[in-house]
Chain A
Amino acid sequence: MSARQNFYRAHERAILGAVMVLLFLVAWEGLERGWWAALLRPWLGPAAERWQLKPIFISSPTLVAQAAFRMFFVTGEIWRDLGWSGLGYVVGLALAITVGIPLGLAAGWYRRLSYAVAPFLSALNATPQVAFLPLIVVWVGTGLGTRVLIIFLLAVLPIAINAHAAVRTTDPRLVRVAASFSAGDWRLFRTIVLPSSLPFLLAGLRLAIGRGMIGVVVGEIYGSASGIGAMISQAGSRFQTDKVFVGVLTIVAAGVILVEIVQHIERRVDVWRPPA
């Protein structure tokens, strides 16, 4: 086997992935610049024009990159939207954590409380929570409150449900041992239930981060003047496709970074655990 084949075998994943992404980007760029139309013209004649699309329709990788550079570094217009969206996101997510974790832990710890809240949680969980948006607008108007509430509503369920499941899956042997050494309820909770719940809580948080991002966008398409979601929807209605892509990519980047941070914490937290 030649050295070149060996190299390919070792890096097949990266090579195939990169080639496909590159092909995709080139195909996209060509669709906007008319490369494919020019290429096909000898065979198709005038019908080849269908292979060139207007920039307002699909934009192109270079146009998106240009728009991103302009919005981030030249005009800096996106920073204000980012700040505005970030504020609602942080407040909504913080609210979801402060309500969801205690509620979920308590429901997991007290059986009767879990019976009481279960119907509400499962009903809310089956509902697309964004359907409450028109109600929230009636209640608190279209300001920061709406966005905070919709982000809260979307994010609180995965957090509470995971916290509940976390307590339920605590190793019963550990609890029984501690109880037979007459550990009090609080002590049991603090030294056994809480540490073993932590991975679940963080997993719930990871889910909630993604849900919250949906909340940012949905909360802002509904009568908000600023924020990333509002920017996306305004750009969309003005056919500024490149700006839409920049907004979408910004949200993706924010989500990926947040999830990375949580995963980092997850690994740190898991260090003390003995290998299974």
Chain B
Amino acid sequence: MAISRDFKQEDPPRHARLARLWLDHERALIGGGTLAAFLLLWQAFGESGLIDPLFISSPTRVLRAGNGLIHDRDFWNDLHVSGSEFILGYGAAVAVAIPLGLAIGLSKRLQYTLGPFVDTLNAVPRVTLLPLIIIWFGIGIWSKVVVVFLGAVIPILINTQSGVKTSEARFIRVARSFSASRFKIFSSIVLPGTVPFIFTGLKYGAGRALLGVVVGELYASTAGLGHMIADAGNTFQTDVVFFGVLIFMATGLVVVALLDRFEREFEKWRPDVR
């Protein structure tokens, strides 16, 4: 910072201006540069014939495959199926986990009674339950909704609960001595303090939910993006597989970005600590 301020005083020479440009955007330039280099290398290897494009495809091939898929009605159906599984499962997980997490955090007895089950489910990699869930719910969309739900519900629940537990005890004591009601304490101290924890859980849960969609569809399904990827893999359409992976990647990034944005909205009231 000190350097750049010095430069400002007199008209800087050309190379100094360039250096400043570099310093100001170093992060983006290096990151973008490596990404571009990676894509170029991938393209070069994929198209030069050194490695069979059947194995690694290439960026242009992936784009071409994507362009083809966009005009394919099956692809939109797959997208619709996977999207429904994600939204239904994740939505149900949010609707259950946040109230339940708050309740468990507030009530010691509830924690004692439900704790063993939550801990056990937390220790189980939920995707191992897939074979059972398929027996119970069939290979249609509902088995995937359940896997997504189970994947997402636990991290949200646990984070919400520990958010309540870490409420500032002094604040509560102050509020109590001013004879605030239990509801008032909850809505003005406990809940706001828990929001960051809830969002951490939501982000974590979103990752788990996407994992559930993919694994559920790889395992047994008749439609969906995971199904499309598996099919394409079996027929060596590497470009289609990459395009599917790209969609999952984009979904993950978008969901986390959206949650970050929501979180900032919720946290606006907080005084700036810096």
- Kindly report which residue of chain A lies nearest to residue B242, judged by CB atoms: A135
**Residues in chain B near residue A123, CB distance under 8 A:** 249, 253
Selected contact of B233 from candidates A12, A126, A137, A248, CB within 8 Å = A137
Partner pick for A221 among B109, B125, B219, B238, CB 8 A cutoff? B219
Q: Mark each residue of chain B from 2 to 40: 1 if its CB lies under 8 Å from any CB of chain A, else 0.
A: 000000000000000000000000110011111100100
A247 CB contacts on chain B under 8 angstroms: 128
Is residue A70 contacting chain B, with contact meaning CB distance below 8 A?
no
Q: Which residues of chain B are near A244, meaning CB under 8 Å?
A: 131-132
Residues of A near B114 (CB, < 8 A) are 20
Contact-residue bracket for chain B:
35 or more
**Quick check: A118 and B31 within 8 Å, CB to CB?**
yes
Complex CA–CA separation, A139 to B124 (angstroms): 30
B116 touches A20 (CB 8 A): yes
B31 proximity list for chain A (CB < 8 A): 115-116, 118-119
Known: A20-B113, A117-B34, A131-B245. A241 touches B125 (CB 8 A): no
CB–CB B128/A130 < 8 A: no
Chain A interface residue count, Cβ-Cβ cutoff 8 angstroms: 55
Tell me the number of A-to-B contacts counted with CB atoms below 8 Å: 151
A145 within 8 A of B: no
Q: List residues of chain B with CB within 8 A of the CB of A241.
A: 132, 135
Quick check: is B189 within 8 A (CB to CB) of the other chain? no
What distance in Å separates the Cβ of A197 from its nearest Cβ neighbour in chain B? 22
Cβ contact within 8 Å between A138 and B127: no
Q: How far is the CA of A221 from the CA of B127 in the complex (A)?
A: 11
Q: Could you tell me the distance between the alpha carbons of A44 and B252 in the complex, rounded to whole angstroms?
A: 49
Q: Is B256 an interface residue (CB 8 A)?
A: yes
Query: For residue B196, which residues in chain A have a CB less than 8 angstroms away from its CB?
Result: none
A24 vs B118: C-alpha distance when bound (angstroms): 13
Q: Decide: B112 and A17 in contact? CB cutoff 8 A.
A: yes
- Tell me if A236 and B132 are in contact (CB < 8 A): yes
- Give the nearest-CB partner of A238 in chain B: B131
Q: Which residues of A contact B241 (CB under 8 A)?
A: 134-135, 138
Chain B residue nearest in CB terms to A237: B131
Q: How far does the alpha carbon of A217 sit from the alpha carbon of B80 in the complex, in Å?
A: 27
Asked if B230 is at the interface (CB within 8 A of a chain A CB), the reply is yes
Are B109's CB and A252's CB within 8 A?
no
B124 interface neighbour in A21, A119, A236, A252, Cβ under 8 Å? A252
**A267 and B229 alpha carbons, distance in the complex (Å):** 43
Interface residues of A in 182-205 (CB under 8 A from B): none
With most chain A CB atoms within 10 A of its CB, the pick from B108, B125, B127, B129 is: B125
In the complex, A229 has a CB within 8 A of chain B = yes
Contact residues, A84-124 vs B (CB, 8 A) = 112, 115-120, 122-123
Most buried by B among A57, A133, A210, A247: A133
Q: Which residues from chain B sit less than 8 Å from chain A, CB to CB? A: 26-27, 30-35, 38, 54-55, 108-109, 112-117, 120, 123-125, 127-132, 134-136, 207, 210-211, 213-215, 218-219, 226, 229-230, 232-234, 236, 238, 241-242, 244-245, 248-249, 252-253, 256
13 A-B pairs (CB sep. < 8 Å)? A12-B108, A17-B113, A57-B135, A116-B31, A116-B34, A117-B34, A127-B249, A138-B241, A218-B215, A237-B131, A241-B132, A241-B135, A247-B128
Q: What are the 3 tightest A-B residue pairs by CB atom distance, in nearest-first order?
A: A236-B131, A134-B233, A126-B252
